């Protein structure tokens, strides 16, 4: 209670906001709680299901597939320049060990090997040079090494994530031959490997892939993608919370992430968009994003709704209030988001969508966050604060309806160019600015506009499903889950992707599809929709 009173003092003027570190009274305790919530990782040994050949097939995603090889799993002597490929049978994250066996004479020279670990068949044969991405080539799971003693297990220290392995002899010796005698992989996750094993759930393959993806991303934090970026992002953790609440219910993982983000916030009390756990917890400095920080109250709300843990809401209340108060500095007096007031934020993150005008979207995200803050305030008995949050949300809703709603076209337009985008309509529905017939009209009007910018990521499409469900357009929600997420279901992968464009297998915000993550947390929320929609009066399946 003392902490809570201190909060009241801090945020209502008794402790001056000009303090060096606004969260100094709580930061150490938040870090301690985050550490105390660190989960143990389950470990499962996975052996390859078979040797495979990577063959072109225009009918497959990105034009390649892995087909079982006629050769035995082990025993064939490695030939220089001829890689051998293994399929581990499913996407795994963890640590690889390879054992070798001399098949002719004895080792008389060190050998140079190239190991490559990938998520898709196409990754296994695609050239890495010239490197085309603006992200580091280091993300590619390629290990070039010299082995002096093939009698010892080769343990790769780097954590790997994917499904396919290639082993290539770059340089051997005429004096002897050797083969791979065993490949084994220690898969790790903070989610159980047995619970919720693919059960042919009525949603079938999509549900199973979403579950596999979630399990892979649930490490000692919610990782956005276990191959890349391998770290805690505020936005992705929100989606992970929804999916985890609907499946594994490892609520301590969510709690850890909430406390870790809080403990690593800036001295001005702003949340960083992403944080690292190692070598010791630290934020990606310089990466503070207004829209990302507004997902935090909603993540806390989903955690609190699932657990009833009001104490944590109270403990993290200063973080919630600070994010919203700071965002308010970017509004006009009328309550309209004004991006020109960049201030403390480095960028707006939501949705990889070239050319998207984010004014209306950010207005919606903030109203959505405020509505969440109002519910959190109710939970901790702060009725006056709850009413204040709602009143401010109403003010912002009134302002965006006044300035950005095109009554003739019956949809919202964003920015000085009055841009029409799906994202603007989605966020005006999700935030409750429009509902009922007006919400349906906005979603149907934008669908009729061929020039309207479409959602850029599964994260944005998640909110389109939400908008459809909130507008009673359940069959459209079901169609979108089936067509968009269903489009990621291939028999060459068993996870869901960071980026997916039904019209272009090679789309990438990074300049190279090879560095895309094909196992990404924000794509797992069919797990949430299948669980919650079936409990709603109108199921996704109606």
- Say if CB 332 and CB 403 are below 8 A apart: no
CB-wise, 86 or 518, nearer to ligand RAM?
518
Task: Kindly tell me which residue out of 216, 229, 302, 382 binds ligand RAM, with binding defined by CB under 6 A.
Answer: 229
Q: Count the site residues for ligand RAM by CB under 6 A.
A: 7
Nearest-CB residue for ligand RAM: 224
Contacts 24+ apart (CB under 8 A), 407-416: 409/445, 410/438, 410/441, 410/442, 410/445, 411/441, 411/442, 411/445, 411/446, 411/449, 412/360, 412/442, 413/360, 414/357, 414/358, 414/359, 414/360, 414/361, 415/357, 415/359, 415/360
Give least dist CB 219 to ligand RAM, A.
14
Q: Does residue number 236 form part of the binding site for ligand RAM (CB under 6 A)?
A: yes
Give least dist CB 236 to ligand RAM, A.
5
Task: Kindly tell me which residue out of 61, 222, 233, 530 binds ligand RAM, with binding defined by CB under 6 A.
Answer: 233
CB-wise, 165 or 349, nearer to ligand RAM?
349
CB-wise, 134 or 491, nearer to ligand RAM?
134
CB-wise, 95 or 347, nearer to ligand RAM?
347
Task: Kindly tell me which residue out of 220, 404, 498, 518 binds ligand RAM, with binding defined by CB under 6 A.
Answer: 498
CB-wise, 346 or 539, nearer to ligand RAM?
346
Give least dist CB 8 to ligand RAM, A.
33
DSSP string, 146-207: EES-TTS-EE--S-EEEEEEEEEEEE--TT-EEEEEEEEEEEEESS-SSTT-----TTHHHH
Give least dist CB 113 to ligand RAM, A.
31
Those residues with Cβ within 8 angstroms of residue 64's Cβ, 6 or more apart along the chain or in another chain: 54, 55, 56, 57, 120, 121, 122, 124, 125, 492
CB-wise, 324 or 349, nearer to ligand RAM?
349
Among 153-161, 229-237, 325-333, 445-453, the segment contacting ligand RAM (CB under 6 A): 229-237
CB-wise, 208 or 224, nearer to ligand RAM?
224
Task: Kindly tell me which residue out of 187, 203, 235, 429 binds ligand RAM, with binding defined by CB under 6 A.
Answer: 235
Task: Kindly tell me which residue out of 349, 356, 434, 470 binds ligand RAM, with binding defined by CB under 6 A.
Answer: 349
Q: Does residue number 223 form part of the binding site for ligand RAM (CB under 6 A)?
A: no
> What is the C-alpha separation between 239 and 89, in angstroms, rounded?
26
Residue burial 280-297, b: 16+ Cβ < 10 Å; e: rest: ebebbeebbbbbbbbbbb
DSSP 58: T
Give least dist CB 224 to ligand RAM, A.
3
How many other C-beta atoms can be found within 10 angstroms of the C-beta atom of residue 128? 14
Q: Does residue number 515 form part of the binding site for ligand RAM (CB under 6 A)?
A: no
Length of the chain: 542
CB-wise, 224 or 359, nearer to ligand RAM?
224
- Say if CB 512 and CB 137 are below 8 A apart: no
Q: Which of 361, 344, 236, 351 has its CA nearest to residue 299?
A: 236
Give least dist CB 235 to ligand RAM, A.
5
Q: Does residue number 291 form part of the binding site for ligand RAM (CB under 6 A)?
A: no
Q: Which of 188, 263, 255, 195 has its CA nearest to residue 218?
A: 188
- Which residues sit at the interface with ligand RAM, rule CB under 6 A? 224, 229, 233, 235-236, 349, 498
């Amino acid at each position: 209670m003392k902490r809570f009173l201190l909060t009241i003092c801090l945020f209502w003027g008794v402790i001056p906001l000009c303090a060096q570190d606004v969260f100094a009274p709580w930061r150490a305790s938040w870090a301690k709680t985050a550490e105390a919530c660190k989960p143990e990782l389950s470990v499962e040994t996975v052996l390859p299901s078979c040797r495979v050949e990577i063959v072109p097939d225009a009918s497959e995603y990105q034009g390649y597939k892995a087909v079982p090889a006629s050769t035995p799993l082990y025993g064939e002597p490695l030939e220089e320049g001829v890689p051998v490929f293994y399929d581990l049978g499913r996407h795994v994250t963890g640590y690889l060990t390879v054992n070798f066996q001399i098949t002719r004479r004895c080792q008389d020279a060190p050998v140079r090997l190239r190991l490559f670990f990938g998520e898709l068949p196409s990754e296994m044969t695609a050239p890495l040079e010239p490197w085309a991405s603006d992200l580091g080539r280091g993300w590619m799971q390629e290990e070039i090494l010299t082995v002096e003693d093939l009698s010892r297990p080769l343990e790769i220290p780097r954590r790997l994530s994917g499904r396919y392995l290639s082993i290539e002899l770059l340089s051997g010796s005429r004096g002897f031959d050797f083969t791979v005698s065993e490949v084994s992989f220690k898969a790790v996750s903070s989610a159980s490997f047995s619970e919720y094993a693919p059960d042919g759930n009525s949603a079938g393959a999509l549900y199973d892939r979403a579950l596999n993806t979630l399990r892979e991303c649930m490490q000692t934090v919610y990782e956005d993608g276990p191959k890349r970026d391998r770290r805690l992002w505020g936005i992705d953790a929100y989606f992970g919370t929804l999916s985890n609440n609907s499946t594994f219910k490892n609520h301590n993982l969510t709690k850890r992430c909430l406390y870790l983000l809080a403990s690593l916030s800036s001295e001005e009390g702003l949340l960083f968009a992403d944080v690292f756990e190692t070598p010791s917890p630290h934020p990606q400095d310089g990466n503070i994003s207004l829209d990302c920080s507004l997902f935090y109250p909603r993540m806390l709300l989903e955690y609190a709704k699932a657990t009833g843990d009001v104490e944590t809401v109270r403990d993290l209340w200063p973080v919630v209030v600070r994010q919203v108060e700071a965002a308010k500095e970017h509004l006009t007096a009328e309550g309209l988001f004004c991006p020109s007031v960049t201030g403390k934020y480095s960028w707006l993150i939501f949705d990889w969508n070239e050319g998207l005008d984010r004014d209306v979207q950010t207005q919606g995200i903030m109203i959505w966050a405020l509505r969440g803050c109002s519910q959190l305030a109710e939970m901790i008995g702060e009725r006056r604060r709850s009413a204040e949050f709602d009143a401010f949300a109403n003010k912002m809703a009134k302002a965006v309806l006044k300035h950005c709603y095109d009554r003739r076209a019956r949809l919202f337009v964003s920015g000085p160019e009055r841009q029409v985008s799906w994202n603007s309509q989605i966020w005006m529905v999700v935030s409750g600015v429009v509902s009922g017939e007006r919400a349906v009209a906005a979603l149907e009007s934008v669908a009729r506009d061929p020039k309207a910018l479409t959602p850029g990521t599964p994260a944005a499409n998640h909110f389109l499903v939400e908008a459809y469900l909130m507008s009673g357009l359940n069959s459209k929600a079901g169609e979108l889950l089936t067509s968009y997420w269903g489009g990621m279901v291939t028999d060459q992968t068993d996870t869901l992707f960071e980026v997916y464009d039904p019209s272009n297998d090679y789309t990438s915000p990074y300049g190279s599809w090879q560095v895309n993550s094909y196992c990404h947390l924000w794509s797992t929320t069919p797990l949430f929709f299948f669980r919650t929609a079936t409990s709603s009066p109108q199921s996704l399946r109606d």
